[in-house]
Amino acid sequence: MGTELPPVMDPTEVTFPLRLLDVRDDESFAAGHAAGAVRVPIEDWVTAARTTDGDLSKPDYWSRAIRSLGLGAGVISGVFDDGRMTEAARVWFILQYFGLPAVILNGGWPDVREAGLDGATAASEPPLLHPGSGPIGLVDRETLKSSLGLMAVLDARSEAEFGGQDLKGNARGGHLPGAVLLPHIELLEGTRLRPPLSLREQFSVAGFTPGQPVATHCDGGGRAALAAVAALQAGLGPVAVYYQSFTDWAADETCPIVAATRDETNRRPEPTEGDQQA
In sequence order, the β-bridge partners of residue 241 are: 138, 216
Confidence of residue 260 (pLDDT cuts 50, 70, 90): low
- The whole-number pLDDT of residue 3 equals 47
- The whole-number pLDDT of residue 72 equals 92
- The whole-number pLDDT of residue 262 equals 47
- The whole-number pLDDT of residue 51 equals 85
Residues 163, 168, 172, 175, CA torsion sign: negative
Sheet holding 136-138, edge to edge: 136-138, 239-241, 214-217, 152-155, 180-181
Dihedrals phi, psi of 79, to nearest 5 degrees: -105, 135
Helix (H, G, I), strand (E, B) or coil at 12: helix
Cα distance between residue 185 and residue 51, in whole Å: 28
Superfamily assignment of 2-115 in CATH?
Rhodanese-like domain (3.40.250.10)
Per-residue pLDDT, averaged over 23-34, amounts to: 98
The yes-or-no verdict on residue 269 having pLDDT over 70 is no
Q: Quick one: 116 exposed, middle or buried, by C-beta within 10 A (0-12, 13-18, 19+)?
A: exposed
DSSP state of 262: G
Q: What pLDDT, in 10s, does the model give residues 175-206?
A: 999 999 999 999 999 999 999 999 999 999 99
Superfamily assignment of 136-268 in CATH?
Rhodanese-like domain (3.40.250.10)
The yes-or-no verdict on residue 169 having pLDDT over 90 is yes
Cα distance between residue 266 and residue 251, in whole Å: 25
- The whole-number pLDDT of residue 40 equals 98
In sequence order, the β-bridge partners of residue 188 are: 193
Q: Which residue in 198, 201, 250 sits closest to 8, CA to CA?
A: 198
Does residue 275 or residue 213 have the better pLDDT?
Answer: 213
Residues 161, 241, 7, 205, CA torsion sign: positive
Start-end of CATH 3.40.250.10 domains in the chain: 2-115, 136-268
CB atoms within 10 A of CB 51: 10
Does residue 61 or residue 181 have the better pLDDT?
Answer: 181
Per-residue pLDDT, averaged over 65-87, amounts to: 96
pTM: predicted TM-score of the whole model, two decimal places: 0.91
The yes-or-no verdict on residue 13 having pLDDT over 70 is yes
Show the beta-strand stretches assigned E in 112-212. 136-138, 152-155, 180-181, 188-189, 192-193
50-64, 94-108, 201-215, 227-241: which has the minimum mean pLDDT?
50-64
CB contact at 8 A, 175 and 155: yes
Dihedrals phi, psi of 237, to nearest 5 degrees: 150, 165
- The whole-number pLDDT of residue 247 equals 96
Per-residue pLDDT, averaged over 240-265, amounts to: 86
The yes-or-no verdict on residue 261 having pLDDT over 90 is no
In sequence order, the β-bridge partners of residue 258 are: 175
